[in-house]
Amino acid sequence: MYRVLILFSVFLISTVVLGHGDEDHRDPKTSQEVSLDEDGFEIISSGPSKDVLNQINEAYKKDVKSIFSNKCLACHGVNNSMPWYYSIPGAKQLMDHDMKEAKEHMDMSNDFPFAGHGRPLDDLDALKKTIDKGNMPPFQYKIIHWKSGLSDKEKKIIKKWIQESKDLIGSK
């Protein structure tokens, strides 16, 4: 029991002290990208086609979703099973805040493309970045849930999916 209490204090303190990561808050989602061609005319591109997004989603559901369900959806999706310490005063507020913020950034509740403020390609890039840096799930969550970090094997599967998705979208 002591061990749990100590861990819990570390969780609370680290949440308050460390705050959140250094991810950029990006512009609100736009469905269209507007750029100018050589003559100054607007080129409007509507992003990846539905077909491409479907293909990416199929691969996501096949290989990646089960990993994210275990390790990410607690914050980035629907979470029906809150841990026991959710009922401790203070913890509830902190965790609600984390879950709200996580979903604002990237909501994985309805598979790919994820909701939130990023376009599909931005989300893939942001995912790649957090996986390379190893900063998701957040530190304070990993120390409570010992096994919540991504294993090397899982990272490999996710990164393969990211690369294949980016190839499909046509971006390096």
Site of interaction with ligand HEC (CB under 6 A)? 20-21, 23, 71-72, 74-76, 98, 101-102, 105-106, 118, 126-127, 130, 136-138, 141, 150
Q: Smallest gap, in angstroms, from Cβ of residue 35 to ligand HEC?
A: 22
Please, what is the minimum distance in Å from the beta carbon of residue 118 to ligand HEC? 5
Give the sign of the dihedral formed by CA 58, CA 60, CA 65, CA 66. positive
Whether 168 contacts 48, CB under 8 Å:
yes
Q: Which amino acid is at 152?
A: D
Based on CB atoms, which residue is closest to ligand HEC, 33 or 132? Answer: 132
User: ∠109-74-152 over CA atoms, to 5°?
Assistant: 100
Q: Which is nearer to ligand HEC, 2 or 75 (CB)?
A: 75
Residue identified by tokens 């290989």 is 63
Least distance (Å) from ligand HEC to the CB of residue 52?
A: 20
Least separation in angstroms between residue 66's CB and ligand HEC is: 12
> Looking at the DSSP assignment, which residues form a beta bridge with residue 45?
33
